[in-house]
Amino acid sequence: MTPRGTYRSTRHALLGLYTYAEFFLVALAFVPVMGLVALFAKDDPGRRRRGQWIRRFGRVTSRLTPLWNFRVEGEAPADIDRRGYVVVSNHLSTSDPFLLSFLPWDMRWIVKREIFKQPVIGWLVRFGGDIPLHRGQRDSVTQMFKECHETLKAGVSVMVFPEGTRSPDGRLQAFKVGAFQLAIEGQVPVLPVVVAGTRECRPKGSLWFGEARAVARVLSPVCTVGLTVADVPRLRDQVRDIIARELERMAKAAPAVPS
């Protein structure tokens, strides 16, 4: 390995270790604060204040690591602070929630139940008021839909990754129907958001952090007024096509990276 390559490898390793330590220490600092917020804001049906704190945690940790450079593009709907939307995004990495925490509106996330059992991060997710889902369990799915509808009625948006899991190779996967059924049942718009660049932050299966610039691009909302449950597959395919086309445009517009 050349001296330049050795320097880069050493620098990356040191920054990765710093990032792990920084994330852990910030998380520990946020746990008692968010616990108190959850205690005193437990009657808020939309978990708005609790969600604001977990997104604040995401922004603080992201800004403190020199490995990541995040930005948001596009305009949020003018009424999103008063009206609930079903927000959907492609899913590339465990860093996606950190990037999406920069979106300038309140949301509750649907999070797999296993995350709630993890130390520190699980506590933050629970205190943040996110919605647990145990895949494959009917009772859990029913409770999840119930909480989502209550959240939307309270004027707070719900965040869903319709692929269900991170893409293993960066390609857009098939979408599941749950987010679109939720939007149609609640007669609320679907708001597509496209994520690009986060796979380099931390690819699926990797335990190491990567250096990357990433963007979340907010697209135009898709209306569901007048649609019925029979229209769920069509709405799902329509939104997936919108995200796929935008990903293709972003890939073509991306500048070439010098070797």
pLDDT digits (tens, 9 = 90+) for 78-107: 999 999 999 999 999 989 999 999 999 999
pLDDT digits (tens, 9 = 90+) for 42-76: 888 899 999 999 999 999 999 999 999 999 999 99
CA atoms of 91 and 171, how far apart (whole Å):
9
Mean pLDDT across the stretch 141-169?
Answer: 94
- CB atoms < 10 A from the CB of 33, how many? 13
Pairwise pLDDT comparison (222 vs 9), residue with the higher score: 222
CATH number of 3-253: 3.40.1130.10
| Domain ranges, ordered by start, for the chain | 3-253
148 pLDDT exceeds 90? yes
Bridge partners (DSSP) of residue 158 are 86, 108
Task: Report the Cα–Cα distance between both ends of the chain, in Å, rounded.
Answer: 16
Q: What percent of the chain has pLDDT over 70?
A: 93
- CB atoms < 10 A from the CB of 15, how many? 16
Is the pTM of the predicted complex or chain greater than 0.95?
A: no
163 pLDDT exceeds 80? yes
**Spatial CB neighbours of 186, under 8 Å, sequence gap ≥ 6:** 84, 86, 148, 149, 152, 153
Characterise 120 by phi-psi region: left (phi > 0), alpha (psi -120 to 50), beta (else). left
259 pLDDT exceeds 70? no
